[in-house]
């Protein structure tokens, strides 16, 4: 990289943004102001953390005052949308707002809740093009995604730990999928697996496999790597359509001098030049069988849903 280029790209975060859309994995608007991501993603865990910050605490009081006597579910949705609106006042792109994880195995319930979220944003003057509805990658969730996308409601399919989940979501027309990196790595570390470098990290390899499959078969679905444990994992996926990164890792990337060119690790044209395997059959029986065969994906999906449900209940308790 020339001296002029180094002046234009002062750190690893800015270098990464040349190849990849950086998304803030946080509910904290102050972090978004600091790192200037294009998009942002939230979930109940992140919202609970944000509510513990003094400058966000008043959101709960405002929702309670605006919705006296309302059901807790309606208040919880109002909190999520209030955060989403604050975020959209800072970022230029889209915010992901999550459907209650307790609906993860209820297709009709997921569709109904997604429509209520979109209506709540519309009531506050937010166009649906700026909102992604976040839905867990269960079979029932992916069926809901198909229905919502046909209605013009864009979806972010989350808690993806396997190629079959990603393929099924793409078949359903999902706008975006979020394959998880760090949670896959965690599972393999617990099983005693070791790897010498980030590019051989099982979580990184899973996202690369998903990215290449979708590009080779020309699905329009965007791939957003998520759940990172280190900057090395992030940089190993430079070039992925999007990467959603926590404020701690964004800070580390921003503080890294970009002394040499950051290599692009994923590229759609290169992926399409590779040998394309068969398109996966993502019918319900084969989807369920493939998940049953994949202990890691089955365990991490269930664990992720339980964690989101637990934090959803914590939010409910603060809204009573």
Active-site residues: which are they?
134
Q: HEC profile for the chain?
A: CCHHHHHHCCEHHHHHCCCCEEEEECCCHHHHHHHCCCEEECCHHHHHHHHCCHHHHHHHHHHHHHCCCCCHHHHHHHHHHHHHHHHHCCCCCCEEEECCHHHCCCHHHHHHHHHHHHHHHHHCCCCHHHEEEEEECCHHHHHHHHHHHHCCCCEEEEEECCHHHHHHHHHCCCCEEEEECHHHHHHHHHCCCCCCCHHHCHHHHHHHHHHHHHHHCCCCCEEEEECCCCHHHHHCCCCCCEEEECHHHHHHHHHCECCCCCCCCCCHHHHHHCCCCCCCCCCHHHHHHHHHHCHHHHHHHHHHHHHHHHHHHHHHHHHC
Distance of alpha carbon 273 from alpha carbon 314, whole angstroms: 48
Q: What are the phi and psi torsion angles at 18 (to 5°)?
A: -65, -30
């Amino acid at each position: 990289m020339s001296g002029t280029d180094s002046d234009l790209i002062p750190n690893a975060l800015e270098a990464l943004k040349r190849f990849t859309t950086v998304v803030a994995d946080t509910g904290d608007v102050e972090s978004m102001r600091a790192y200037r991501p294009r998009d942002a993603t939230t979930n109940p865990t992140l919202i609970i953390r944000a509510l513990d910050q003094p400058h966000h605490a008043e959101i709960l009081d405002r929702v309670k005052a605006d919705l006296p006597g309302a059901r807790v579910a309606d208040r919880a949705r109002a909190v999520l949308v209030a955060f989403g609106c604050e975020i959209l006042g800072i970022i230029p792109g889209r915010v992901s707002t999550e459907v209650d994880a307790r609906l993860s195995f209820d297709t009709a319930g997921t569709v109904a809740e997604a429509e209520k979220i979109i209506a709540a944003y519309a009531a506050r003057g937010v166009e649906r093009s700026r909102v992604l509805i976040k839905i867990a990658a269960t079979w029932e969730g992916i069926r809901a995604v198909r229905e919502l996308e046909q209605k013009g409601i864009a979806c972010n399919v989350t808690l993806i730990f396997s190629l079959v989940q990603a393929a099924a979501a793409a078949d359903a027309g999902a706008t975006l999928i979020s394959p998880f990196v760090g949670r896959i790595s965690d599972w393999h570390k617990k099983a005693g697996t070791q790897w010498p470098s980030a590019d051989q990290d099982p979580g990184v390899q899973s996202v690369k496999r998903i990215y290449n499959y979708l590009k080779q078969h020309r699905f329009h679905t965007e791939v957003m790597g998520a759940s990172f444990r280190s900057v090395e994992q992030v940089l190993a996926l430079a070039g992925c359509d999007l990467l959603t990164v926590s404020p701690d890792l964004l800070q580390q990337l921003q503080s890294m001098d970009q002394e040499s060119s950051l290599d692009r690790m994923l590229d759609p044209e290169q992926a399409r030049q590779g040998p394309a395997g068969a398109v996966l059959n993502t019918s319900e029986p084969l989807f369920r069988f493939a998940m049953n065969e994949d202990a890691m994906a089955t365990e991490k999906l269930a664990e992720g849903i339980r964690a989101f449900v637990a934090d959803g209940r914590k939010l409910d308790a603060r809204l009573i």
